[in-house]
Each structure stands twice: as C-alpha cells, then as structure tokens.
Chains A and B, each alone.
Chain A
C-alpha cells in the first residue's frame, strides 16, 4: 500500500485544508504589506492571536457539531450568560471565584444539554432550537440581572490565581486564553481524529440513518456535542469576565456568526460529514487576522466585514467544489482506467 509521490501530492491537493491554508497565508501577506511593520511586530501578533484564541475555544466545538450535521447559534448568549453568572455569583454576591466559575461553566453545559435534548427529542432543526436558545437566554440574562442588580453591568474585582489562569496575560499583551485554545485544539484533535468517537461524529453528519443502523449512539453523541459548544462558550464567558474585571449583559453576541464564519472558512462543510481541526484552526486565524489587521492599515474598520464576507462566500463555493470532486472522483478514474 505504498503511495507514490504523485498520489500523495494529488491527495494533498484534494484536501480542503489546503484552501484554508491559502486563505490564511493570503490575508497575512496582504495585511503585512498594507498594515506595515506594526502588524508583523509582536503587538500585531498579539492583537490577532488573542482574538483567534477566544474564538477558537468556541469554533472548535462548533466545528465538531457542524461536522455532525448540526448548528449552534446560541453560543453568543451562552458567553454573555456565563460571564454574567460569574460576575453575579462572585462579584455581586461576593462568593469565592471558584464557585462563580463552576456556576458559569454549569450554565454552559446545561444550555448545551437542553439544546441537544430538544434537537434529538423533537427533531426540530438545530438551527431553530439554538436560535430560540440564543434569544431566550439573552432575554433571561438581561431580565434577571436587571431584576437583581438594577443595572446591566456588574463589576468583578478581587485577585486570585484563578483570575490569572483564565483572564491573565503573559508578556503583558498575550492572553492566557491562547493556552486554553491550544489545549482545546489538542483535545478536539484527539476526539475527532484519534479516538473512535471521531468516527461517530463523521458518520452522524454523513448519513444519520445508516449511523443509527450501524449502532452509533446518535442521541448521546449529539447531546455531548451540544454540551461541548456550551462548555466552550462558557469558558470564553469566564475568560472575558475575568479579563475585563466585570461584564455587561450585551457582550459576546458576535461569537454566533464569527464562529460559523471561521469554521466554514476552515473547510468544514455546512452540510456536515467533513472537516478537520487543522482547517478550523486556520479558518479561525484567517478571521482574526482580517478582524484585527484592518486597524493597522489606517482604513476604516468597516472594510474588514467586506473582506470576511467575500472570504466566506469564496470558502463556501470552494467547499462545494471539493464536495462535488470528492463525490465524482470515482467516475472519472473509471473512465481513465478503462
């Protein structure tokens, strides 16, 4: 089963990660040219690496879920809700930080569990279920906080080693979130590409009826994946609350669309069944480079949204082309061999 170099190169060219890598390189070179030395310096690096790290903690599980054929549009409210929970428990009520953090992470796990339960029990598309959760949780958070504190922003002071673990910085500019992101990437690589759970995730997105018939625990796997997006979002909520010494109820909403953009640019198919951790990491970096790079060019930051829109469209078209090629590859080769 030895592969020739040409076969290897052909296999490589067929991988959608190559497109994701090209995207990252192109935007990096682009902003290196127009953003100048400040962008390529440590300051520029930290600017986009911090954005990428926080986003990656969410986009990795969102990517897993998309590979399994589902969406999670509730991550924005989970980020807001969990950071508010932490601020409320440890800031407003003054309980130890550890209690607040556990409460915040529990909120993420619980909302993910509810999303998963509703999707698997009712068969309502996850797009709708999680959108309902996004709005419902946002309203609940806002309503409760206003009821309890009479305001919409809560301070969270006090020093603790936990504050440093989640919301600290190193070299005065790099967030410790980067370590969390690296940890998440290693963990998700293990789950998706090394352990046998990865096979279940791909199979769910590929053909759920066959997966069920083959003995994959469909409901449990889906609920676990929704809980992982909830956990990822609540970790980011904790990081932000500790980083900014408090929170306001409106924060975090941008993660909903940003995570989808990052995952799709990373070559994960919207229809499920295909994707990789490397792709998601590259897509997330591309997003962060464009998002921050634009500030170094001196142009209006509105242009970043335009670039991201174009990148997203290009990525979807490229992913669809890849899908078509992958599904028709056999026919072409039959003709060649005949």
Chain B
C-alpha cells in the first residue's frame, strides 16, 4: 500500500471538459504526490489525451478546478503549466530530430555568454550539460552533444526529453505513452528512467494502455472509460485481469471473449 499523506503536488477536482457538445472528460478527480508514479490507464478514446492536455495547460477545463500544492491554479497556456513545474514528454520525445543534442536540450531556454550585442549561444555549456544530464539517467552511450537527436534510439530520445524536463526543475512529469513505440528492451530502459525520476522526488503521471508496464512502475492507478474515472486504486489492490477487464469496458470484454470462443469452436467443427 502506498502512502497518500501530505499535500498532493497536483490535484484535479471534478474536472469536466466539453468540446462542442461532446463530453471528453466527465467529473474527473485525481491526486498526484511527489515521488510517486500515477498510471493513467484507458483504452483509445477514453479521454487520457484530453486529461493530460488539461494538466499541461493546452486546454482549460469547462468546469472543475486544478490545485498545485493545495493552491488553486488556472493554466491559460502551456507556459503557465511549465512555470508551475509541470512538464509533458510526448510519445516520440517531442524533440527535434535534426537538431544537435545540445541545441535541442535548451530550446526556448538558450544559455548565452558575452553581453549586449555580443551575446551568443553557449554551445559548449549546452552540449556538456545535455550529455551530463543524459548520462545521469543511465544513457552512457551518448558522449557527444553535437550529435543529432534523430540519430538516437527511441528510448534515448525519451531519456533526452525526460532529462531536459528534470534539468529545468519539473516536479510533475507527464509521460504520454512513452513506451508505445519501443521494443521490449528499450521500453524497460525507459521504465527504469521513470523510476529514477520518481526517486528524485518527481511526481510522474504515466499515460499508457500497457498494463504490464503500468504494474511494473506504478504506485497508484486511475482508469478512464468514456471520459469518466472508472476506478482509482493503489498498487496491489487489483489484479492484472481486473485491470484489463476494466480498461476494455468490463462486461464487454467478457462478451467479446465468449464470442471469440464460439468462433474458434465453429472453426474446430469445420476441421
């Protein structure tokens, strides 16, 4: 059982989001604590993307409220969310394939040296910092900040994006399907990095539809179905089967399995 004490670093209270009559999120309440991994589970179209867009400041909730460290927060833009220490890393790392590791690490927050009109991009500092931060997350193969991001593997790109977020002081890290496009080994590597971020005291929101990955790293879980929170539980409170059934819509899954059984049965008859 994980401890759910103290003030949540980020909490949603009865948040709904309506797009032109379509209710994408319906009365969702969630709490995220420092040093914990909250896994956000749900099938495609369950509202996971809308939820993280609300958290990241891309959408304002139609009703309900957000709180950061117990104080009401109102994100008008992604900039507001990132100022509050919330960083989002997208499926492909959200980084720039044809930029160097050092340059992409500092997009929007370029380090400079010199003064006035002679102020210039500090490439040496950028490259060294980026490489150091990536190595701190266990990516030891990367030693040259001049290399292009596109030359990294999918897992390394995720690591670069996570390293960037942690470096710029993110205390809530939203990872959108970080393992979806990766192979087994690479996915394991990314999950290890998630644990490292967690151990640094970062609150991690891991969005996934892979139950195995979620169970490996999650402290707390929330399942979304059709925009509503269907369940909310701590590690060890549900079995893998219960979670899978829930994600697929419970009864619907049982019916589907029964139907599949009749199909395979009829195939056997033909043979």
Residues of A that sit less than 8 Å from B by CB:
1, 3, 7, 11, 194-196, 198-200, 202-203, 205-207, 209-216, 269, 273-274, 323, 326-331, 333-334, 337
Q: B82–A213 contact, CB under 8 A?
A: yes
Question: Which residue of A7, A211, A329 contacts B151 across the interface (Cβ within 8 Å)?
Answer: A329
Q: Which of B17-25, B89-97, B243-251 lies at the interface?
A: B89-97
- Chain B positions 122-146 with a Cβ under 8 Å from a chain A Cβ: 127-128, 131, 141, 143-146
* Contact status B96-A213, CB under 8 Å: no
Given A200-B107, A329-B151, 15 additional A-B pairs, CB 8 A: A1-B144, A195-B121, A196-B110, A202-B99, A205-B98, A206-B97, A210-B95, A211-B107, A213-B78, A213-B88, A214-B109, A273-B97, A274-B98, A330-B151, A334-B153
Contact B78 A273 (CB under 8 A): no
Question: Can you report 6 residue pairs joining A to B where beta carbons are below 8 Å apart?
Answer: A209-B94, A211-B96, A211-B108, A213-B56, A326-B150, A329-B148
What separation, in Å, do the CA atoms of A205 and B146 have in the docked complex?
18
List the A residue with the shortest CB-CB distance to B122: A196
Question: Known contacts A214-B107, A329-B148; is A323 also within 8 Å of B98 by CB?
Answer: yes
Taking Cβ atoms with an 8 Å cutoff, the residues of B that contact A are 56, 78-79, 82, 88, 90, 94-99, 103-104, 106-110, 112, 119-121, 127-128, 131, 141, 143-146, 148, 150-153, 156
Beta-carbon contact of A326 and B94 below 8 Å: no
Q: Are A326 and B121 also in contact (CB < 8 A) when A196-B112, A202-B98, A215-B79 are?
A: no
By beta carbon, the residue of chain A nearest B153 is A330
Chain B contacts for A11, CB-based, 8 A: 146
| Secondary structure type dominating chain B contacts | loop
Contact of B148 among A213, A214, A326 (CB under 8 A): A326
Taken together as a complex, chains A and B put the C-alpha atoms of A207 and B79 apart, in Å, by 17
A14, chain B: closest CB distance, angstroms: 9
Q: Would you call A203 and B107 a contact (CB within 8 A)? A: yes
Closest chain A residue, CB of each to CB of B156:
A330
Contact in complex: A202, B94 (CB < 8 Å): no
Q: Which residues of A contact B128 (CB under 8 A)?
A: 1
Say which residue of A195, A213, A214, A331 sits within 8 Å of B153 (CB atoms). A331
Question: Would A194 and B120 count as touching, CB distance under 8 A?
Answer: yes
Beta-carbon contact of A202 and B150 below 8 Å: no
**What are the residues of chain B within 8 A of A3 when measuring CB–CB?**
144
User: Chain A contacts of B97 at CB under 8 A?
Assistant: 206-207, 273, 326-327
Q: In whole Å, how far is B34's beta carbon from the nearest beta carbon of chain A?
A: 23
Q: In the complex, what residues of A have CB within 8 A of residue B148's CB?
A: 326-327, 329
Q: Given that A203-B96, A206-B97 are known contacts, is A327 also in contact with B151, CB under 8 Å in the complex?
A: yes
In the complex where A203-B107, A215-B108 touch, is A273 in contact with B98 (Cβ < 8 A)?
Answer: yes
Alpha-carbon gap, A326 to B148, bound state (A): 7
Cβ-defined contact, B121 with A198, below 8 A: yes
Residues of A within 8 A of B98 (CB): 202, 205-206, 269, 273-274, 323, 326-327
Chain A's nearest CB lies how many Å from the CB of B128? 8
Q: From known contacts A3-B144, A211-B108, A327-B97, infer whether A199 and B121 are also in contact, taking CB-CB under 8 Å.
A: yes
Partner of B96, one of A206, A323, A333: A206
Chain B residues within 8 Å of A207, by CB? 94-97
Chain A residue numbers with a CB within 8 Å of B150 are 326-330
Name which residue of chain B comes closest to A196, CB basis: B110
Structural contact, B96 and A202, CB atoms closer than 8 A: yes
Complex contacts, A199 vs chain B, CB 8 Å = 99, 103, 106-107, 110, 121
Q: How far does the alpha carbon of A274 sit from the alpha carbon of B103 in the complex, in Å?
A: 12
- Which of A11, A200, A327 gathers the greatest number of chain B CB atoms within 10 Å? A327
Which residues of chain B have C-beta atoms less than 8 A from A323's C-beta? 98
B156 surroundings in chain A (CB, below 8 A): 330
Min distance, Cβ B112 to any Cβ of chain A, angstroms: 6
List the B side residues contacting A210 at CB < 8 Å.
90, 94-96, 107
Cα A165 to Cα B224 with chains together (Å): 69
The answer to whether B108 touches A214 (Cβ under 8 A) is: yes
CA–CA, A334 and B185, complex, Å: 12
Q: Give bound CA distance, A210 to B151, whole Å.
A: 18
Expressed in whole angstroms, the minimum distance between the Cβ of A18 and any Cβ of chain B is 15
Given A3-B144, A199-B103, A211-B108: A330 in contact with B96 (beta carbons within 8 A): no
- Nearest CB of A to B134, in Å: 13
Instruction: For B141, list chain A residues within 8 Å (CB).
Output: 337
CA distance A198 to B122 in the complex (A): 12
Q: How far is the CB of B143 from chain A (nearest CB, A)?
A: 6
Q: Given A215-B82, A337-B141 in contact, is the A195-B96 Cβ separation under 8 Å? A: no
CA distance A71 to B122 in the complex (A): 29
Which residues of the partner chain A approach B144 to less than 8 Å between Cβ atoms? 1, 3, 7
How far is A196 from B110 in the complex, measured between Cα atoms in Å?
6
Complex-state Cα separation, A337 to B98, whole angstroms: 23
Distance of A213 Cα from B150 Cα, bound (Å):
20
